Amino acid sequence: MKLIEGVFNNAQKKKMVTERTDAMVAIEGEPMRSVTWVVIEEVKSGNGAIGGKPLATADVRAMQAARAAA
């Protein structure tokens, strides 16, 4: 998984790892749990883009704030 650096805290990243592992187990069965890797790679703010638009930490924080306000 690639995430923008500084957006998610350790608890959120742990939840991401757990939920992705659980998703693999739901698809392939419990034996997959011990061999499922989830790698989090943090990308510097502005060094990634979606739809050709660079994405920075501030952009993701604005999305989070909008979701929290809804």
Entry pTM: 0.80
Residue 17 near residue 37 (C-beta atoms within 8 A)? no
DSSP string across 37-48: ----EEEPTTSE
Burial (CB count within 10 angstroms: exposed 0-12, middle 13-18, buried 19+), residue 8: middle
| pLDDT score at 38 | 97
| pLDDT score at 41 | 97
Q: What is the largest CA-CA distance in the chain?
A: 40
- CATH code of the domain covering residue 60: 3.30.429
Q: What is the mean pLDDT of residues 2-28?
A: 96
Q: Residue 70: is its pLDDT beyond 90? A: no
What's the domain count of the chain?
1
Domain range enclosing 61: 2-69
CA-closest candidate to residue 16, choices 36, 32, 44: 36
